[in-house]
Structures are given as C-alpha cells and as structure tokens.
Amino acid sequence: MGVTVKIYRNPQDDEEIYTLGVRMARSSNGGRSFSTIHGNVHHIQPSPAQTLHLDHCELWIDPNHPNRIAVGNDGGLYVSNDKGQNWLHYNNIPAGEFYDITVDNQTPYNIYGGVQDDATVYGPAKAWQAGQKDEWKYLWIDAWSGGDGCVTEVDPQDPNTVYFSRQHGDGLRKDMAADTSKQIGPAGTELSKTNKIRYNFVSPYIISPHDPQTLYHGGSRVLRSTDRGESWESISPDITRSSDSNKQAWAGGAIAESHLVKGLLFVGTDRGGLWISENGGKDWLERSSGLPMAYIRSIYPSRFSASRIYIAMTGINYDDLNNYLFVSDDLGQTWTSISNNLPNDPANVIIEDSQYENILYAGCYRGVYISMDQGSSWSLFGDNMPAVSVADLAIQERKNDLVVGTHGRGVYFFNLDPIHELKELDTRKQFSLLNVSDVQFPKQVDTHRDVDLSTLTAMPVNVWAPTAGKVQISIIGEDDSIYWTKKKRVKKGLNQFLWDLVISSTSSEKPYFVHYKRYLLPGAYRLQLKAGARIVEKPFDVVEWPY
C-alpha cells in the first residue's frame, strides 16, 4: 500500500525525530540526518517473518519512558523498549485484511486466503483461542516479511497443488509436499507483453470446475491455460472496450465458469462491463446494459439454473457507496436489482447456498447478510460479528460451513445445518430446538489427565424463537440426571449459543491443585429446551478423543 510520510517527536527531546513511511527512520539531530530502523524481531506466535515489516502507519512514544515505542504497520503491532534495536511482534491479534477465501476438501479442511501485505496464509477451520498455539501458516512470504497475497485456488483433485497470486496477475503454482513454487504468470509472459495486457491489483483467476488442469485469468483480455499455467492463450477481445463510453475499463474484476455448462464463461470489468461466452471463449457478447458504472467484484453462476447469474458490484473506488447486487435469469440480457432492504453500503460478494436455490449470502461493507427468498428480503447474518467489510465468502460443502473472509478482522466460519433445518421446519410459531451434532470430548493431557484446551471445541445450541423471551437449556443424562442447566434470553428468530462443555468450576488456593473445571464426560445425553410449558429434547453423544 502507499504510505504518507509521518513525523513524530520525542516529547522529552526536540532533537529526536521519527519518520514513518515504507520504512521507519530516526534522527537524533533535529532532522539533519536520519538512519533507518531495523532491529531484531521476536514474535508472540512462531513465525518465519524475520524483519520489521514495511509500510508504517502509526507510532506511539511513551511520554515518560521515550525509549519505549510502539509502531503499527502492515504487519501488525511491534513494541520496542530500546528505540528499535529489539522488537516484540504481537502477531496474536486476529486482524488480517483478507482479499479472498478458498477452502480445500481435506479432513479437517483448510482455509486459504490472500492477505493485504501479509502474503497468503492457510490453516485448519478451528475457532481461534487466545493464548493457544496458532496453527495457521504462511503459504509464502516475501523478503520483507509480507507481500500482498491476492487470489488462491486449490486443485480439487490434488490438494498438494495450490495456485496463488500476487499483485497485477503475478501467479504461481506451489507443490506443497516439496515446498516449492513455480511462477506461471500470465503477467510477465510474452503473450501479455505482446498484447499489452493489463491487470488489476487483485487480478481474478479460477480453476475450471470441469477440468482442474484448466485455468482462466481475467486481465484486459481473458486468458486460458490448459496445462496448469505452463502456457497461456488469449480467448477474448479487449474486454475493457465497452460499447458504453462510461464503462471503458482498465482490466477484469471477476471471472467465473458455470458449474452446469462447460465453457459457459463470464467476466466483469472494474467499470461495470459484463461479458459472456457460451462456447468456451470463441465468441463473446457484452451484457452490460442495465448495470451501473462500478467495479464487478463477484460473479456467481447459479448451480440450479444455467441461465441465472448473480453479481456484486462496488463503486467505492469511485466514491460511490451504494449497494449493487443483481440477478439475471437470461444470461445477462436483463438485470434485476436484489439490493432491496439491504443497508446502502458497498457489496463485495454474493453466493448461492449449496443446497437451496432460494438462499443467498452477501458480503457487504459492514457484515454478512442472508436472504431466504432469493434476494427479495435480507437479514443480518449474526449480530455478534463485527461491522467489518466482508471481502469474500466460500462454502465448504462436505462440512456445510460458510467461511467468511473480512478485510480487517480475520476469518469467521459458521455451520449452515441450522439454516437448512430451519428451512424445513414445520412451523415457526413455537419454540424449537434444532438438531444437535455429536460433540468431541477434548484431548486429555497425559499423567494428570487435565484437558488440553487447544483441543476443546464448543458445542453449538440452536434455538428458534417465535418471540423474544427466556428459555431454559439443560443437559440430561441417560439416568435422567441434570448435568448442566442455564437460563438464556433469546431474541426473535434463530439463536445460537456456544457451550464449552463445562459442567462445574472449582476455586482452590491449594498450591498443586488441578482440574479447576469439570467437563461433560463421553456418553449419551439429551439436550432439553424449556420455553414456558413447552419442552423439547434432542439426543446427542459426547465421543471419546481418538487417541
């Protein structure tokens, strides 16, 4: 990112000045000369990053102890007690600015994402726990401990093959087992140079859903590779030359291929131009009429109707903060706005549910929204998620998880089973307890048999409430003993509570005391909901850790 140079003065010494820019510098003589600050970097969580990150944004100098400084940059928060000779990197703050999200199909599955100036990262779909070891890793990292990670794709037949990109169409293919990457372009290739092909900062590309050997990349032309990026060909005219003079663009903003029809391709530009090919790129038609002049960020061809496509557009690059979500049921010949009751904030992504064609999810400037009626109305999806820009959405179909990549607060995921069960609910006029999945008992530490907290997974409890009120939730054993009970206040609609399996807590001052908390042991149980006179129960098991 571009950085404006900022100047800070030591409150106890007017001659000592710090400047922030791409690098950080210090002067001890009132600015007559400067030296760049580097220093030794130590991390809270293990990290291969070796240097003080670039692109510095904010500095704090302790007014009482000016040797102590803290700097915020594109790599996070760094604190020094000796004016930058040594740094402690607080890389345990979940504040990644993701550009895209991809999931694989391993067990457990991994989430991949390109991050603003923090390369590409990946890790298991597990809830973050403060103080526990962070299992996420860098897919790659540059020599300055960062670099912009853009789009990531995983070969659906070979999770060992991962594609990732950097700025302006710089794509690479990685062999995960060998831990080696090969630059595949298409930026920098002779094809791009000869045709003067331009690429956006985050340049879109996909693996064909019909052939994992085939890649599509969207620049000022659509490029295709049928050999995993070893070679490329142009399969479109210059898509930036719209028939609408207001939509002359720089390059492609989104690209997609229908899952239902091989060779049915869609590409959108950063100025609202939408192009379609029904024959694998041999012929292209512009279908931009009825769309605003805005950046097409997301194209989602329906998996239920070959002629239906959804798009999300943002005008934020052009100081247009309106919400633009559209659907077409005739391959873009006509467009219908489905923004309806959404907040008038920019939209970045729209996707369809994997099982129900009427359920849609939209990632907007201040959160995720869900529609149960194909976009006629929308609701905020979860009120405990921060009001942060959502950059991308993906569904891990085997686990039925919705994965959310935000631009500022990391990654979230939510299991969609309650949404699907709610869709089939016979009546919503009474309190209902939704099905409960089996719960994994956490691993126990050897010898003392205390719980390894890093293996603890909370149990979701889902309650449908026709009105706001109070309910009682209990855990009952096979002998009808009540192991745990709690009164909860519920809002109208779907409520989800996460329970940590703790059935009792003990406070002790004994020096060698352990087992402060007792957890629900493996066995068969019933989850009970009481709402007034109504009682509903659902069975579930707590299963042993697979040692």
Give the residue-averaged pLDDT of 433-455: 91
Do residues 216 and 85 both lie within one domain? no
Do residues 171 and 255 both lie within one domain? no
Do residues 453 and 513 both lie within one domain? yes
pTM: 0.95
Asked if 152 contacts 166 with a C-beta cutoff of 8 angstroms, the reply is no
Whether 312 is covered by a domain: the verdict is yes
Neighbours of 491 (CB within 10 A): 12
Which residues form the domain of 232? 190-337
Whether 367 is covered by a domain: the verdict is no
Q: Identify the band that residue 143 occupies on the pLDDT scale cut at 50, 70 and 90.
A: very high
**Statement: residue 2 has pLDDT above 70:** no
CATH code, domain carrying 509: 2.60.40.1930
pLDDT, tens digit, for every residue of 76-87?
999 999 999 999
Q: Six-digit token pair at 417?
A: 């089973």
Give the residue-averaged pLDDT of 222-248: 97
Q: How many domains does the chain have?
A: 4
Separation between Cα atoms, residue 31 and residue 26, nearest integer Å:
8
Do residues 145 and 17 both lie within one domain? no
Separation between Cα atoms, residue 126 and residue 143, nearest integer Å:
29
Q: Which residues of 75-101 are buried (b: 16+ CB within 10 A; e: fewer)?
A: bbbbebeebbeebebebeeeebbbbbb
**Statement: residue 407 has pLDDT above 60:** yes
Whether 427 is covered by a domain: the verdict is no
Q: Identify the band that residue 132 occupies on the pLDDT scale cut at 50, 70 and 90.
A: confident
Separation between Cα atoms, residue 498 and residue 124, nearest integer Å:
19
Task: HSE, CB side, 13 Å, CA atoms: give it for residue 527.
Answer: 24
pLDDT of residue 447: 87
pLDDT, tens digit, for every residue of 190-212?
999 999 999 999 999 999 999 99
Asked if 277 contacts 283 with a C-beta cutoff of 8 angstroms, the reply is yes
Last residue of a domain, one of 337, 361, 392: 337
Do residues 99 and 85 both lie within one domain? no
**Statement: residue 448 has pLDDT above 60:** yes
Separation between Cα atoms, residue 163 and residue 208, nearest integer Å:
13
Whether 36 is covered by a domain: the verdict is yes
Separation between Cα atoms, residue 44 and residue 134, nearest integer Å:
10
CATH code, domain carrying 265: 2.130.10.10
**Statement: residue 250 has pLDDT above 70:** yes
Do residues 485 and 512 both lie within one domain? yes
What is the average pLDDT score of the chain? 95
Whether 38 is covered by a domain: the verdict is yes
pLDDT, tens digit, for every residue of 319-354?
999 999 999 999 999 999 999 999 999 999 999 999
Q: Identify the band that residue 449 occupies on the pLDDT scale cut at 50, 70 and 90.
A: confident
Do residues 299 and 198 both lie within one domain? yes
Last residue of a domain, one of 89, 118, 140: 89
Torsion of CA 65, 71, 77, 83, to 10 degrees: -50
Torsion of CA 54, 58, 62, 67, to 10 degrees: 20
Whether 223 is covered by a domain: the verdict is yes
Whether 460 is covered by a domain: the verdict is yes
Whether 371 is covered by a domain: the verdict is no
Separation between Cα atoms, residue 261 and residue 259, nearest integer Å:
6
Q: Identify the band that residue 514 occupies on the pLDDT scale cut at 50, 70 and 90.
A: confident
CATH code, domain carrying 21: 2.20.25
Do residues 159 and 206 both lie within one domain? no
Do residues 239 and 263 both lie within one domain? yes
- Sign, CA torsion 482/487/492/496: negative
**Statement: residue 3 has pLDDT above 80:** no
Strands (E), 226-380: 233-234, 252-257, 265-269, 274-277, 285-286, 295-301, 309-315, 320-328, 336-337, 347-352, 360-364, 367-371, 379-380
Task: HSE, CB side, 13 Å, CA atoms: give it for residue 440.
Answer: 13
Asked if 371 contacts 360 with a C-beta cutoff of 8 angstroms, the reply is yes
pLDDT of residue 518: 95
Last residue of a domain, one of 272, 307, 337: 337
Do residues 195 and 324 both lie within one domain? yes
Q: Six-digit token pair at 119?
A: 């390369």
Give the residue-averaged pLDDT of 56-65: 97
**Statement: residue 40 has pLDDT above 60:** yes
pLDDT of residue 524: 97
**Statement: residue 383 has pLDDT above 90:** no
Residue with tokens 């070979």: 158
Neighbours of 70 (CB within 10 A): 16
Separation between Cα atoms, residue 166 and residue 161, nearest integer Å:
17
Q: Please tell me the total number of residues recorded for the chain in this structure.
A: 547
**Statement: residue 262 has pLDDT above 80:** yes
Q: Identify the band that residue 382 occupies on the pLDDT scale cut at 50, 70 and 90.
A: confident
pLDDT of residue 71: 98
User: Which percentage of the chain shows pLDDT scores above 90?
Assistant: 92
Do residues 321 and 214 both lie within one domain? yes
Do residues 24 and 51 both lie within one domain? yes
